[in-house]
Amino acid sequence: MSSMAELLWAEKYRPRSLDDIVNQEEIVTRLKKFVEEKNMPHLLFAGPPGTGKTTAAHALAHDLYGENYQQYLLELNASDERGIDVIRTKVKEFARSRVPGEIPFKIIILDEADNMTADAQQALRRLMEMYTGTTRFILIANYPSKIIEPIQSRCAFFRFTPLKKEDVVNRLKWIAEQENVAYDIEALEVIYEVSEGDMRRAINILQAASALGKVTVEAVYKVIGLAHPREIREMINLALEGRFTEARDKLRQLMVEYGLSGIDIIKQVHREIFGSEIKLPEQLRVLIADYAGEIQFRLVEGADDEIQLNAFLARLALIGKKVKG
């Protein structure tokens, strides 16, 4: 019966061992050295989403401790844990117990570490020092520049790069074959183009497209259209037409009904601004993108997502009015 149960392919086909990882060769080689030596420093994995950071961390632990590696591993996500105090408690709890085995340390994976404030990172640094005898940290971040210097200097740094077209397409092909899914090779190439080297996104699109039938170029575009709520583009167009309150209603729909965060929305807006569907004089795209960047910065620091995005929409409405007038 369990064979009838299905998983998301991004998880199902996640490489378990370092040997299974087909890209990031240089990183894998260095990590395999740690397995050989049965020792490692604190690590910092940085790079864009979907490039294998979390996978590499798990695979490393797997190769170090064997199949039951989970008990040697504490996995925390900085953006889901409520503040450094919670993290501190969990780390303390985890580091206290010793687990027998030939590896004298346990591993703590802290994902999205760049979402922590500088203060929290200072506290984290002290934690890393305190438990350095019994634990190793693997910090994972999209933006290494948001990790404070003292932490960076305590970690071996690994930079993950967006996956190459060939790697993504081959992987998608392989998965499709495992799943007995019919596909057009052009469709897989389109998936690579739109996922921008993000393997997780690429696999997700493949799975959704295959749920619709054969994976064709058309199906892929359909999935992309559905996955990105069209309300985002509608919202931008309404604002540019000067219909500010209607644009604001769309924004609320996106936030409340879809549960998108302000950052998610502004990032998708940014993508749309340079797309051909939005009609704008070219120099205004630059102007709007610049303001979008400012708003994204405020979203990170601010207390209320909707207010920040309303400021953005109001600016769009103003720009739209000037274009027309």
Partner 1 sequence: MPAKELPWVIKYRPKRISDVVDQDNAKREFIAWLNQWLRGKPDKKAALLYGPPGCGKTSLVEAAANEYNLELIEMNASDFRRRQDIERIVKIAATQMSLFGRRGKIILLDEVDGISGTADRGGLDAILDLINTTRHPVVMTANDPWDQKLRPLRDASKLIAFNRLTETVVAQVLKNICLSEGIECEPQALRYIAKLSEGDLRSAINDLEAIARGYGKVTLSLAQMLVRRRDREYTPFEALRNLFMSRYAWQAKQAVTQTNVDYETMLQWINENIPNQYTDMEDIWRAYEALSRAALYLGRIKRTASWDLLSYVFDAMGPGVALARVKSKYKWAKYNFPQRILMMAKTKQVREIRDSLAKHLASKLHVSSRLVKSEFIPILRIIFLNNPRYAARIALGYNLTENMIKYLAGPRSNEVLRYLNELKKGKALPSEETQIAITKTVKTVSEVTTTRTTRRSTRTRRRKGGRGGQTQLPF
Q: Which of residues 241-270 bind partner 1 (CB under 8 A)?
A: 242, 244-245, 248, 252-253, 256-261, 264
User: Quick check: 226 binds partner 1 (CB under 8 A)?
Assistant: yes
DSSP per-residue letters across 274-301: TSTTS---HHHHHHHHHHHHHHHHHHHH
User: Quick check: 315 binds partner 1 (CB under 8 A)?
Assistant: yes
3-class secondary structure, 198: coil
Site for partner 1 in 96-125 (CB under 8 A): 111-112, 117, 119
User: Quick check: 179 binds partner 1 (CB under 8 A)?
Assistant: yes
The residues pairing with 108 across neighbouring beta strands, listed in sequence order, are 74, 137
Figure out which of the listed residues 30, 42, 125, 222 binds partner 1, where binding follows CB under 8 A: 222
Binding part of the chain for partner 1, among 31-39, 144-152, 163-171, 305-313 by CB under 8 A, reads 305-313
- Closest to partner 1 by CB, 132 vs 241, is 241
User: Quick check: 271 binds partner 1 (CB under 8 A)?
Assistant: no
Q: Which residues contact 246 (CB under 8 A, 6 or more apart)?
A: 238
- Closest to partner 1 by CB, 11 vs 36, is 11
3-class secondary structure, 321: helix
Site mask for partner 1 (CB under 8 A), range 30-49, x = bound: -------------------x
User: Quick check: 293 binds partner 1 (CB under 8 A)?
Assistant: no
CB atoms closer than 10 angstroms to residue 137: 25
Smallest gap, in angstroms, from Cβ of residue 205 to partner 1? 7
Query: Which tokens in the block code for residue 60?
Result: 């490393």
- What single letter denotes the amino acid at residue 140? I
Number of amino acids touching partner 1 (CB under 8 A): 72
Smallest gap, in angstroms, from Cβ of residue 247 to partner 1? 10
Spatial distance between the Cα atoms of 140 and 52, rounded to a whole number of angstroms: 10
CB atoms closer than 10 angstroms to residue 147: 21
Site for partner 1 in 52-81 (CB under 8 A): 54, 58, 75, 77, 79-80
Spatial distance between the Cα atoms of 316 and 238, rounded to a whole number of angstroms: 9
Q: Which residue has the tokens 């499709």?
A: 176
Spatial distance between the Cα atoms of 118 and 55, rounded to a whole number of angstroms: 26
User: Quick check: 1 binds partner 1 (CB under 8 A)?
Assistant: yes
User: Quick check: 272 binds partner 1 (CB under 8 A)?
Assistant: no
- Closest to partner 1 by CB, 132 vs 234, is 234
User: Quick check: 317 binds partner 1 (CB under 8 A)?
Assistant: yes
User: Quick check: 185 binds partner 1 (CB under 8 A)?
Assistant: no
Spatial distance between the Cα atoms of 166 and 23, rounded to a whole number of angstroms: 10
